[in-house]
Structure 1
Amino acid sequence: MVDLFQAAGLEEAVGRPLADRLRPQSLADVVGQDNLVGPDGTLTRLLESRTLGSLILWGPPGTGKTTVARLLASQTDLHFEQISAIFSGVADLKKVFEQARARRHAGRATLLFVDEIHRFNRAQQDSFLPVMEDGTVTLVGATTENPSFELNAALLSRARVLVFHALDAEAVSRLLSRAEEVEGKALPLTLEAREALANMADGDGRAALTLAEEVWRAARPDEVFDIAGLSEIVQRRAPIYDKSEDGHYNLISALHKSVRGSDPDAALYYLARMLDAGESPLFLARRIVRMAVEDVGNADPQAMVIANAAKETYDFLGSPEGELALAQAVVYVATAPKSNAVYTAFAAAKKAAKQGGSLMPPKHILNAPTTLMKKEGYGGGYRYDHDEPDAFSGQDYFPESMGRQSFYHPVERGFEREIRKRMDYWARLRAERDPR
Structure 2
Amino acid sequence: MTEESLVCEPARLDWSEPSGPRAADYGDVYFSAEDGLEETRAVFLAGCGLPEAWQGRRHFVVGELGFGTGLSALALWQLWRETRPSGAWLDFVSVEKHPLSRDEAVRAFAAWPDLEPLTTRLLAQWPSRQKGVHRLVFSEDGFAITVVHDAVELALADMDFRADAWFLDGFAPAKNDAMWSQDVLDEVGRLSASGARVGTFTVAGHVRRGLQAAGFEVVKRPGFGRKRERLEAVFPGTPAATMPPPRKVAIIGAGIAGASLARAFAGRGSEVVVFDAAGPAGGASGAPAGLLTPRLERADRPHVRATLAAFDYARRCYEDFDGFYPGGVVRLAKDEREAQRFAGIAALMDERVEWDGAVLQMHAAARIEPARIVAQMLGDVPVHEARVASIAETDGDVQLADADGETLCRADCIV
* TM-score bucket (shorter structure): under 0.3
Structure of larger gyration radius: 1
- TM-score w.r.t. the length of structure 2 is 0.22
Which structure has more RCO (C-alpha within 8 Å, separation ≥ 6)?
A: 2
**Greater strand proportion:** 2
**Greater helix proportion:** 1
- TM-score w.r.t. the length of structure 1 is 0.21
